[in-house]
């Protein structure tokens, strides 16, 4: 494990992620939130009401791509801090390859796009 990644488990946040994924599937949506702030607001609402609703916000194409990435690779993060860290790592990769991308064709995005260098090195040995 990478010591820079927050490791504590927040079961409420994990439940939120499951609820978001389920709602996306049931409603046929590629993403639920336009940006990280809307996502965090959705989590706060989930904590008080236990419900999920599609939220708008400032459009952030990297955040939308990140939600698609999470679904494609069945990612589950331990807590909001890890989610934010992983989104930052993903955004760095997405920005690096932005000039090569068109539409939903994402050059450079793969299952390691939310991993740190030390995690990638550990995987490849």
Q: What is the pLDDT of residue 21?
A: 93
Question: Taking all residues of the chain, what is their mean pLDDT, rounded to a whole number?
Answer: 89
Q: Mean pLDDT check: name the lowest of 13-22, 26-35, 95-104.
A: 95-104
Query: Does residue 40 carry a pLDDT above 90?
Result: yes
**How confident is the model over 13-34, as a mean pLDDT?**
92
**How confident is the model over 28-38, as a mean pLDDT?**
90
Question: Would you give the distance in Å from CA 12 to the centre of its chain?
Answer: 16
pTM of the predicted model over 0.75: yes
106 or 44, higher pLDDT: 44
Q: Exposed e or buried b for every residue in 59-83, given b needs 16+ CB within 10 A?
A: ebebbbbbbebbbeeebebbbbebb
**Domain segments of the chain: what residues?**
11-124
């Amino acid at each position: 494990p990478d010591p820079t990644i927050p490791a504590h488990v927040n079961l409420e946040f994990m439940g939120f992620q499951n609820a978001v994924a389920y709602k996306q599937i049931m409603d046929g949506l590629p993403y639920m939130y336009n940006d990280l702030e809307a996502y965090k607001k959705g989590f706060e609402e989930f904590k008080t009401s236990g419900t999920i609703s599609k939220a708008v916000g400032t459009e952030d194409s990297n955040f939308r791509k990140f939600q698609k990435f999470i679904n494609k690779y069945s990612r589950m993060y331990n807590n909001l801090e890890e989610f934010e860290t992983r989104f930052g790592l993903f955004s760095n990769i997405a920005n690096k390859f932005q000039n090569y991308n068109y539409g939903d064709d994402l050059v450079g995005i793969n299952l390691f796009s939310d991993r740190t260098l030390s995690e990638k090195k550990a995987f490849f040995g």
